Chains A and B, each alone.
Chain A
Amino acid sequence: MDDAPATPVGVAIIGAGLMGGQHAASAAASPDVQLLGVTAADAGQAEQLAGRHGCRVYADVDAVFADDAVEAVIVATPTHTHHDIALQVLAAGRHAFVEKPVTRTLEDALALREAARAADRVLATGHVIRYFPEYRQIAESIARGDIGTPAVATFGRRCQQPDWAPDHWHTDMARSGGVAVDMLIHDVDLVRWYFGEPTHVYARVVGSDRHDGLDYALATLTVPDGPICHLHGSWSEPEGFSQSAEVCGSAGMITYDSRGRDELSFAAHATNADVTALPAPAAGPNDPFQRQLRDFARAIRTGSSVPSDIDWAIGSLRIALAMLESSDRRDVVEVTA
């Protein structure tokens, strides 16, 4: 990649789970940042991750803040902890990158925005979907007029029951928001990116706290002058992760499904192998997480804005939470900015 900042930004990662692991891999490979170390509630997980990337382990967040080389912190902890940890990061004078969903509640997200303004630090969020080349190509195809006027658009993602976190926070709606908030927020991003701000949300959600984490969510978003937008999210897919999109218009249709679209695939003979159905960490020139880090590092060095800033995150969180509200009330929810 071109145009790396003269001096890489020193970063630490809080959290060593699925996303902490992805950020560590991307940060280690990125010319824009220098991965200094990781810390996690589970010290063993942190050590394993640090060992893989040759960085240090911090005993806790205070140890992170005590390291003067740490300019920025990536917060990749369970959703409900983002708010408190990000506040500490900002209070310690560090720039913050917070995984999506930026917080579990709208109030927490608004508080983070105020804290970042007061601290005059960069606050970026992990709304990473805009950095995926497949979704950028869909945006360009729509903009080129390949499919004419969009009439109906469907976006979805699915994976197995999320039981990989040791404390099973995914299966607690109060902590994760379930598949609607945790995963479909990416698809909310797509609707907003491609077509504009939804005004009405109707959704039906199983909820991850009723059947051992199994969850399923269907949502229909109304976007003024846009197509009918339908989102589908599943935490009930035994075959593991996949994502898909389809936009139909007056002159054609463009579709994408990650299933069967692996450039490379290796599988051990399945005599005794665990099914590891989560996506392998992205790598190489298509790694969207490295592209995301680049914008974060640039913002820190040059004062440029990040596209997935806290305002963007708040906008998508608002829609995702409206899905839960709609499902609870069994009615359409009007969304106002």
Chain B
Amino acid sequence: MKVGILGTRHVHADGLAAYVLELGHELVGAVEQDAAARDAWTRTPLLELDAVLDAADAVIVAGTNRERVDATIAATRAGLPTLAEKPVAADADELERLVAAVDPSLVMVALPLRFGAALTRARSIITSGALGRPLAARGTNHGQFPGGWFGRLADSGGGALQDHVVHLSDVLCWLLDDRAARVYARSAHVLHPDNDVEDCGIVTIDFESGCFASIDSSWSRPAAFPTWGDVWLEIVGTGGRLRIDPMATRLELYGDAAGKLTHVPYSDDDMTRNMVAAFLEFADQRRDGGPSTAPVSLAEAVHASDTVLAAYASVASGRPEPVTVRQSDS
């Protein structure tokens, strides 16, 4: 399969492209307008948009949040299966534009957590009934500040809430077969004063089932932290307590070169690689007129973005706010 890259400025862009090659597929080229990003990109030739869309069998959309909707619409209008980075849109207006213009049957969204072994096993534990009725959950998806455009509202549409809440809110919906109904959120902008977005946030979500959860999505890991951040989730049900720490499979390296403790992951189960493989398989099937529901559907990612928009509404109002219910949800 020939894969094109629309936008390279997301921190995952090069990694996703590398997995395409590792999995035995080709890269036809990338589209990038930003001069500095063009200089930084070495993975593929840089081409015009039409050239990439003509040559590619599938595309990965990995620019800034603000660029994402235009790129996703262009790719799907060209009839190409598309892996879109998350969040799928920078703000509410962009999200509406996306939903109105895009063919959802061509879109998969890059939410990699679902593709790790720990999450897959967690889902089977829940499906088996061992957890019982889910009562409450708590998760953290901390990070260091990812840098660059992530800190600029014009490019990102938001900070720590925008960047990280979607991962665990989506995972909870997927694991619990549930949907977010109401959100309370608090945010702060203390850690990176030069940015114009929030760097800390804690959201509390009420799900339709009555289960509730909090997610700490703060960019609160200091430079001295051993790695980029964390992903951690616990769910309590009437049958037991489930705890998920996909990054637990690691060594701890005390290296004088780094001047701090660093983590060395050792698991051969790579969720992002699994996700790219799932996308390429989906794209291959779509080319042959196969199943039209992606492993992570656009509707699911739109719901995650609606959850984040409710969080921003809550920050503004100081009250819990409802999550938008869409026609496509039913």
Contact = CB atoms under 8 A, between A and B. Distances in A.
Interface of A: 147, 149-152, 154, 200, 202, 204, 206, 211, 214, 216, 218, 220, 222, 227-228, 230, 232, 234, 236-238, 248-253, 330-332
Contacts of A227: 188, 190, 200
Interface residues of B, number: 34
B190 A151 contact: yes
Contact of A218 (B136, B187, B193, B225): B136
A279 to B, nearest CB: 18
Contacts of B320: 202, 330-332
A310 B168 CA distance: 41
B238 A152 contact: no
Contacts of B224: 252
Contacts of B188: 151-152, 227-228
B321 to A, nearest CB: 11
23 contacts: A149-B190, A151-B190, A151-B191, A151-B200, A152-B188, A152-B202, A204-B204, A206-B236, A214-B135, A214-B236, A216-B236, A218-B138, A222-B186, A228-B187, A232-B214, A236-B136, A237-B241, A248-B221, A250-B193, A252-B222, A330-B182, A330-B206, A332-B184
A230 B214 contact: yes
A99 B220 CA distance: 36
A251 B216 contact: no
Contact of A151 (B199, B212, B214, B318): B199
Interface string B207-219: 0000011101010
B218 A238 contact: no
Interface in B6-34: none
Contacts of A211: 135, 238
A202 B184 contact: yes
A214 B239 CA distance: 10
Given A204-B136, A206-B136, A218 B212 contact: yes
Nearest to B132: A211
Contacts of B218: 151-152, 248
B121 interface: no
Given A230-B202, A234-B236, 6 more contacts: A151-B188, A204-B206, A218-B138, A220-B214, A228-B201, A253-B222
B43 interface: no
A152 B221 contact: no
Contact of A238 (B186, B222, B241): B241
A230 B184 contact: no
Contacts of A238: 240-241
B250 to A, nearest CB: 16
B77 interface: no
Contacts of A331: 319-320
Interface of B: 135-136, 138, 182, 184, 186-188, 190-191, 193, 199-202, 204, 206, 212-214, 216, 218, 220-222, 224-225, 236, 238, 240-241, 318-320
Given A204-B212, A206-B135, A228-B186, A236 B200 contact: no
* Chain B CB within 10 A, most for which of A149, A152, A206, A230: A152
Given A151-B188, A154-B216, A206-B135, A214 B238 contact: yes
Query: Which 9 pairs of residues, A with B, have the shortest CB-CB distance?
Result: A248-B220, A151-B190, A216-B136, A236-B236, A152-B200, A204-B212, A218-B214, A228-B186, A151-B200
Given A152-B218, A202-B320, A332-B318, A218 B204 contact: yes
Of the listed residues B138, B187, B220, B240, the one surrounded by the most CB atoms of chain A closer than 10 A to its CB is: B220
Nearest to B192: A250
Contacts of B186: 220, 222, 228
A220 B191 contact: no
B220 A152 contact: yes
A230 B201 CA distance: 10
Contacts of B241: 234, 236-238
B185 to A, nearest CB: 8
Contacts of A220: 184, 186, 202, 204, 214
B129 to A, nearest CB: 15
A189 to B, nearest CB: 20
Contacts of B225: 253
